[in-house]
């Protein structure tokens, strides 16, 4: 039932103002009848003005809302106390429609004629609630990704102080999140890596996209883990850097496996070089043998005697030099740390190792270095293994002789090493697969198929890249790119 005495005929301007508000606004009298209503409410409740004005709120609002919000009691309370009631939330799900969430306030008003009103302001925040629920869900999911990761995931503030530290970090380091919270990341690294760590973090701060590194992470009791880290900047919506994220992987097991693999490949490479080695050693042996046979003659003239002795000395030195080189290469090397390395020296040593093999296959080998020294961070014996593999492959590709060129150039902050042969070439169908483990071609029956995959992983570990271009019948060029210091 409507009671016309409760209708408030609002001045035109006020009514328009109310109608412009995209939320429900109602004026309610002390008798809990609706005295004014805006367009938004009428639309949402699908009511007409004349069925609404003067009606009691209990007739206008669905029972479930009335019960859930205790609306009637709250309005009466505001009338009594004269104090507004703000910020109540109410959620409501009608059959067949999605959950709605409302936010409502009740504000007491005094009219000119002394009568009292309250303004009921109801805002539909369903969408906002849904979004924040969605945000929470995504956050929970992200958090559980970080929590369940078996890699270390940590974040720091802009200064490099640790903010978050996931369970994998706790397990691997033996330090709890509480232990490390607020500590400098760099100071958690092993002592020898602290400077390097500070430098990398400074580079990230200076705008570098991402940085990778291998540092030891002390795990207490004098032990440490070798960890491969990837660092990147964390940015807010405006692109401002708000911290750093570091993901670290325990390399212990992988390194061990790789070491065994490299060692067996190394021995295979030695097998390939055996012919060249034999040739280079039997020649000085032959010289010695001849000299000794001459010396056996008691009537040998003094000049030839002197010559014989000199030849023996020089030949023994030559042969033992060759053997020493080989031993150094063949010896299982501990998985060394990255160190400042002269790429030119590595290339010189490596070309020397294959000089024997090159000679017995009528191959001319040229090494051209654009600069006399080129420093980079590397594990020298691993780089040597890469270049040795490339050189032996090239030699294998030229059974009838040819040219083998090793060229080093510097292009901006990259070292470019091209190993070019004039051999049989690689069919384009095989080019895609040659870096796959155990891929081997029929042309190289003594290959293990591991050489290039090992090259690939070693170069990757040095943050470089390796690629190949080839034409069947003309030869191939392998290009190694490495970042320089």
Partner 1 sequence: MREVSVLLVDDEPNICWAIKALLRPPRYRLLSLNSGSEALSRLQHESFERIIVDAKLQDMNGLDLARRIRLLNPEAWIVLISAFYYSDDQTVTAALSEGSIQRFVAKPFSHQALLDALDPEPPVAEGSDDPLASR
State CA 88 to chain mean position distance: 46
Give 401 or 437: the residue with its C-beta nearer to partner 1.
401
The interface region with partner 1, picked from 209-217, 241-249, 304-312, 471-479 by CB under 8 A, is 304-312
Instruction: Using the structure block, give the residue that is written with the tokens 């940015």.
Output: 235
Applying CB under 8 A, does 320 fall inside the site for partner 1? no
Q: How would you classify residue 48: left for phi > 0, otherwise alpha for psi between -120 and 50, otherwise beta? A: beta
Q: Which of 79, 121, 294, 456 is in the footprint of partner 1 by CB under 8 A?
A: 294
The interface region with partner 1, picked from 185-193, 212-220, 291-299, 424-432 by CB under 8 A, is 291-299
What is the rounded CA–CA span in Å between residue 308 and residue 402?
36
Kind of pairing, strands 363-369 and 402-411? parallel
Applying CB under 8 A, does 278 fall inside the site for partner 1? yes
Q: From the CB of 293, what's the least distance to partner 1, in Å?
A: 5
| DSSP string over 376-430 | EEE-HHHHHHHHHHHHHHHHHT-TT-EEEEEEEEEETTEEEEEEEE-SS---HHH
**What is the contact mask toward partner 1 in residues 342 to 381, using x (rule: CB under 8 A)?**
-----------------xx-x-x-----------------
Give 84 or 401: the residue with its C-beta nearer to partner 1.
401
Instruction: Using the structure block, give the residue that is written with the tokens 């009537």.
Output: 299
**What is the contact mask toward partner 1 in residues 395 to 434, using x (rule: CB under 8 A)?**
------x---------------------------------
- For partner 1 (CB under 8 A), the number of binding residues is 27
What is the rounded CA–CA span in Å between residue 477 and residue 397?
12
CB of 243 closer than 8 Å to CB of 161: no
Applying CB under 8 A, does 311 fall inside the site for partner 1? yes
Token pair in block for residue 138? 């995504």
Applying CB under 8 A, does 289 fall inside the site for partner 1? yes
Q: Which is nearest to 404 in space by CA: 450, 460, 361, 459? A: 361
What is the rounded CA–CA span in Å between residue 250 and residue 422?
42
Applying CB under 8 A, does 293 fall inside the site for partner 1? yes
Q: Which of 73, 304, 309, 371 is in the footprint of partner 1 by CB under 8 A?
A: 304
Give 357 or 381: the residue with its C-beta nearer to partner 1.
357
Q: Which of 234, 285, 316, 345 is in the footprint of partner 1 by CB under 8 A?
A: 285
What is the rounded CA–CA span in Å between residue 22 and residue 133?
23
Give 251 or 295: the residue with its C-beta nearer to partner 1.
295
State CA 235 to chain mean position distance: 16
Applying CB under 8 A, does 69 fall inside the site for partner 1? no
CB of 24 closer than 8 Å to CB of 122: yes
Q: From the CB of 281, what's the least distance to partner 1, in Å?
A: 8
Q: Which is nearest to 102 in space by CA: 126, 127, 85, 73? A: 126
Give 402 or 451: the residue with its C-beta nearer to partner 1.
402
Give 32 or 288: the residue with its C-beta nearer to partner 1.
288
Beta strands in 93-209 (DSSP E): 100-110, 116-124, 152-156, 162-165
Give 179 or 403: the residue with its C-beta nearer to partner 1.
403
The interface region with partner 1, picked from 124-132, 204-212, 271-279, 426-434 by CB under 8 A, is 271-279
Applying CB under 8 A, does 161 fall inside the site for partner 1? no
SS3 331: coil
What is the rounded CA–CA span in Å between residue 91 and residue 104?
11
Q: Which of 3, 179, 307, 418 is in the footprint of partner 1 by CB under 8 A?
A: 307
SS3 239: coil
Element (DSSP H or E) covering residue 56: none
Give 149 or 285: the residue with its C-beta nearer to partner 1.
285
Token pair in block for residue 459? 């170069």
Q: From the CB of 292, what's the least distance to partner 1, in Å?
A: 10
Q: From the CB of 216, what's the least distance to partner 1, in Å?
A: 47
Applying CB under 8 A, does 273 fall inside the site for partner 1? no
Residues that bind partner 1 (CB under 8 A): 275, 278-291, 293-294, 304, 307, 311, 314-315, 359-360, 362, 364, 401
């Amino acid at each position: 039932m409507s009671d016309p005495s409760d209708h408030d005929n609002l001045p035109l301007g006020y009514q328009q103002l109310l109608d412009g508000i995209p939320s429900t606004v109602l004026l309610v009298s002390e008798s809990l009848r609706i005295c004014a209503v805006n367009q938004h409410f009428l639309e949402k409740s699908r009511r007409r003005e004349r069925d609404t004005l003067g009606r009691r709120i209990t007739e206008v609002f669905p029972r479930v809302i009335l019960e859930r919000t205790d609306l009637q009691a709250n309005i009466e309370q505001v009338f009594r106390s004269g104090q507004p009631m703000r910020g109540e939330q109410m959620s409501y799900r009608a059959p067949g429609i999605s959950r709605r969430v409302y936010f409502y306030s009740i504000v007491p008003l005094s009219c000119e004629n002394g009568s009292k009103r309250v303004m009921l302001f109801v805002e539909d925040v369903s969408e906002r609630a849904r979004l924040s629920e969605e945000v929470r869900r995504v956050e929970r999911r992200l958090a559980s990704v970080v929590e369940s990761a078996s890699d270390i995931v940590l974040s720091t503030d802009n200064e490099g102080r640790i903010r978050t530290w996931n369970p994998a970090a706790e397990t691997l380091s033996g330090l709890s999140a509480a232990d490390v919270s607020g500590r400098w990341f760099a100071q958690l690294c092993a002592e020898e890596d602290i400077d390097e760590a500070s430098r990398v973090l400074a580079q990230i701060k200076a705008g570098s996209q991402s940085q990778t590194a291998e540092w030891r992470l002390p795990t207490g009791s004098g032990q440490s883990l070798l960890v491969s880290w990837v660092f990147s900047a964390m940015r807010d919506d405006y692109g401002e850097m708000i911290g750093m994220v570091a993901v670290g992987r325990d390399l212990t097991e992988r390194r061990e496996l790789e070491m065994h693999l490299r060692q067996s490949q190394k021995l295979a490479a030695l097998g390939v070089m055996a012919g060249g080695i034999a040739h280079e050693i039997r020649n000085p042996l032959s010289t010695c043998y001849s000299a000794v046979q001459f010396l056996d003659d008691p009537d040998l003239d003094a000049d030839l005697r002197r010559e014989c002795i000199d030849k023996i000395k020089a030949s023994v030195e030559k042969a033992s030099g060759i053997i020493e080189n080989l031993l150094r290469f063949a010896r299982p090397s501990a998985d060394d740390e990255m160190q400042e390395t002269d790429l030119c020296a590595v290339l010189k040593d490596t070309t020397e190792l294959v000089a024997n093999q090159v000679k017995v296959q009528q191959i001319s080998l040229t090494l051209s270095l654009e600069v006399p020294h080129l420093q980079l961070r590397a594990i020298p014996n691993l780089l040597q293994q890469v270049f040795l593999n490339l050189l032996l492959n090239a030699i294998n590709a030229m059974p009838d002789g040819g040219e083998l060129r090793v060229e080093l150039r510097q292009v901006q902050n990259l070292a470019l090493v091209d190993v070019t042969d004039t051999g049989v070439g690689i069919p384009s169908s095989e080019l895609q697969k040659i870096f796959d483990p155990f891929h081997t071609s029929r042309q190289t029956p003594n290959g293990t198929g591991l050489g290039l995959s090992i090259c690939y992983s070693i170069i990757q570990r040095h943050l470089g890249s390796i690629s190949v271009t080839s034409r069947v019948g003309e030869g191939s060029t392998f290009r190694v790119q490495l970042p320089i210091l």
